[in-house]
Amino acid sequence: MHVLPDRFLRDLHTLRSFGASGIGKGVVRQAFSEADVAARKWLIKQLKAAGLAPHVDPAGNVFGVTDGPSLLMGSHSDTQPEGGWLDGALGVIVALEIARSAKEAGGPPVSVVNFQDEEGRFGALTGSSIYSGKTTLTEADGFTDVDGVSFRDARASMADLAREFLPHDRFSGFIEVHIEQGSTLDDAGEAIGVVTGIVGSRQIQVTITGQQNHAGTTLMHQRKDAFQALCAFNAALNDRLRNIVTPRTVWTIGRMQLRPNAPSIVPGEVVFDVQWRDIDDDRLARMENLIRDLVAVIANDHGMQAEIVPIKALQPVPMDATLRAALSAGAEAQACGKWREMPSGALHDASNMARVIPSAMLFVPSIDGISHAFVEDTNEADLVTGLRVVADAVSRLGASTDFKGN
């Protein structure tokens, strides 16, 4: 097939006109907003023009499908409340250009998908969760946004277009192109990341209870200061995790609340979340054991009580070996010496799709690693390289006799 970079970039820029923030290339296009629905209707026109059959499912996922079995490509065009122009939009327009070019070249057959609410206005990766069967439509209908609007009411705005859910078995595989949203590629001056897998994550909420007291009359040795216990925990955690992590393992204490949170009162309680992510589920489990032990040790050392509530546990999702191999071959051909294999630290629609269809992902760089912000950007040369790598990979898959999914 012969992709057309100018056509691809023109469509990508057109898409950002839906919900343009007026600040740089930023976009405000949350799921089922007017701008989002308008963008999806614009995409339907482009799919038709490319000779694909548009199909909207009850979740608001927009497909453009070939007649028979095909590879599926895509991502999502909804954004965060303040989003960048590329995020999921890139994967949708790459899919459009590949499907269009493949059609023009007489194959291989490629279909397109634009999932709904990946950014979590209502749930988390809502559209692909429903499509993959992880969440039922009925469950999702009960989800509400921060203003109390339900997914059920929101999806009514596209109900006139909606038909049945497409069967999974008409797609032999799923490929999602996405910006990295980290700075690994940008820091290294590389153009392409072939994703090995999507990291798993675990999160617990910890409550440490000491003794609230007067910050003037309670001497230092008499205190049971919950904030001091948290700091001791944090220091010990950083120290002890070093022995079991890799350079790509991450852990974060990003949310916390002191009680009563007053400058003249020794904090009696702290509630905080610990979240950690890794590509290896065994490592996630070993980290959890260490974290739980450490909470108990620190509480005991400080004469305090501690309680742990599990918040979430998502298993790592390895990418399909055949699709990965094709993407790596494409990367080697189109970006020789400027690509790497790497895990995805963020969740993507491919996490859900891997449940039902062989799935893989390709990253292009994010300048300074910035995403979910109006300033999010990628050099257009890198966007085009990403397009060419996928075109190359899809051609290889089309010529391959052994790719029927695996």
Stretch that binds a copy of itself, among 19-27, 169-177, 225-233, 377-385 (CB under 8 A): 225-233
Stretch that binds a copy of itself, among 35-43, 108-116, 217-225, 301-309 (CB under 8 A): 217-225
Give least dist CB 214 to a copy of itself, A. 6
Q: Are strands 192-198 and 359-364 parallel, antiparallel or unpaired?
A: antiparallel
Within 179-208, the residues that bind a copy of itself by CB under 8 A are 180-184, 187, 199, 201, 203
Give least dist CB 153 to a copy of itself, A. 26
* Using rule CB under 8 A, residue 77 touches a copy of itself: no
Closer CB to a copy of itself, residue 201 or residue 385? 201
The secondary structure of 100-124 as a DSSP string is: HHHHHHT-S-EEEEEES-TT-SSSS
Give least dist CB 385 to a copy of itself, A. 20
CA dihedral in degrees (61, 199, 372, 12; nearest 10)? -50
Count residues binding a copy of itself (CB under 8 A): 56
187: number of Cβ within 10 Å: 11
Closer CB to a copy of itself, residue 14 or residue 218? 218
* Using rule CB under 8 A, residue 96 touches a copy of itself: no
What gap in Å lies between CA 334 and CA 271, rounded to an integer? 50
Closer CB to a copy of itself, residue 256 or residue 329? 256
Within 226-265, the residues that bind a copy of itself by CB under 8 A are 227-228, 231, 234-235, 238, 247-258, 261-265
What percent of the residues of the chain are helix, what percent strand, and what percent coil, each to the nearest 5? 40, 25, 35
Residue matched to tokens 């040795």: 221
Is residue 74 classed as helix, strand or coil in its secondary structure? strand
Give least dist CB 177 to a copy of itself, A. 16
* Using rule CB under 8 A, residue 135 touches a copy of itself: no
Within 290-329, the residues that bind a copy of itself by CB under 8 A are 311
Identify whether the C-beta of residue 78 lies closer than 8 Å to the C-beta of residue 36: yes
Residues paired with residue 258 on neighbouring β-strands, in sequence order: 270
Closer CB to a copy of itself, residue 56 or residue 319? 319
What gap in Å lies between CA 312 and CA 332, rounded to an integer? 37
Give least dist CB 218 to a copy of itself, A. 6
Give least dist CB 245 to a copy of itself, A. 8
Which residues have a Cβ under 8 Å from the Cβ of 138 and sit 6 or more positions away?
Answer: none
Within 339-358, the residues that bind a copy of itself by CB under 8 A are 344-347
Closer CB to a copy of itself, residue 69 or residue 81? 81
Give least dist CB 136 to a copy of itself, A. 25
Q: Are strands 305-314 and 200-209 parallel, antiparallel or unpaired?
A: antiparallel
Closer CB to a copy of itself, residue 8 or residue 233? 233
Within 32-61, the residues that bind a copy of itself by CB under 8 A are none
Give least dist CB 272 to a copy of itself, A. 9
Closer CB to a copy of itself, residue 21 or residue 275? 275
Among 188, 178, 132, 165, smallest CA distance to 338 is for 188
Residue matched to tokens 């898409």: 15
The secondary structure of 232-260 as a DSSP string is: HHHHHHHHHHTTT--TT-EEE---EEEES
Q: How far is CA 310 from the centre of its chain?
A: 22
Structure tokens at 343: 């895990």
Helix and strand counts by DSSP (H, E) for the chain = 12, 16
Residue matched to tokens 């007291």: 213
Closer CB to a copy of itself, residue 235 or residue 321? 235
Closer CB to a copy of itself, residue 106 or residue 216? 216
What gap in Å lies between CA 232 and CA 304, rounded to an integer? 13
Give least dist CB 364 to a copy of itself, A. 13
Give least dist CB 191 to a copy of itself, A. 17
Contact positions vs a copy of itself (CB under 8 A): 180-184, 187, 199, 201, 203, 213-222, 225, 227-228, 231, 234-235, 238, 247-258, 261-267, 273, 275, 277, 311, 344-347, 369, 371-372
